[in-house]
């Protein structure tokens, strides 16, 4: 049996790769994780030292939530 091909949105990125993708610093993503205000993330394994990974599709969806057509629309959302 052949495994199904991976979908492009199944790609996982490290904190550094995710930060580059969304044009933020890795430290900002770390702060967002603590605050609970950033994109969804996964822990690759048990424990506090498990690697943090971000699904590319989750990053794209998170960014899409910050799309505006005008500055006045942005002001209303804040």
Does residue 43 lie within any of the structural domains? Answer: yes
Does residue 57 lie within any of the structural domains? Answer: yes
> In this structure, what CATH number is given to the domain that contains residue 21?
1.10.1660.10
Does residue 3 lie within any of the structural domains? Answer: no
Does residue 1 lie within any of the structural domains? Answer: no
Q: In 10 A of CB 33, how many CB atoms?
A: 16
Domain that holds residue 27: 9-77
For 6, half-sphere exposure in the C-beta direction (CA atoms, 13 angstrom radius) is 8
Does residue 30 lie within any of the structural domains? Answer: yes
- Closest among 40, 53, 74 to 11, alpha carbons compared: 53
Extended beta strands in 1-78, E state: 12-14, 42-44, 51-55
Does residue 4 lie within any of the structural domains? Answer: no
Per the listing, tokens 């199944």 go with 10
Entry pTM: 0.78
What is the domain count for the chain? 1
Helix (H) or strand (E) holding 2: none
Residue 66 has a pLDDT of 86
Q: What is the pLDDT along the chain (78 residues), one digit of tens a residue?
A: 555 556 665 899 999 999 999 999 999 999 999 999 999 999 999 998 999 999 999 999 999 998 888 888 766 765
């Amino acid at each position: 049996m052949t495994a199904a091909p991976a979908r492009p949105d199944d790609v996982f990125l490290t904190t550094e790769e995710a930060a580059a993708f969304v044009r933020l610093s890795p430290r900002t993503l770390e702060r967002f994780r603590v605050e609970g205000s950033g994109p969804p993330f996964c822990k690759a394994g048990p424990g506090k030292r498990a690697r943090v990974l971000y699904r590319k599709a989750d990053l794209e969806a998170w960014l899409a939530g910050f799309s505006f057509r005008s500055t006045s629309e942005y002001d209303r959302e804040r």
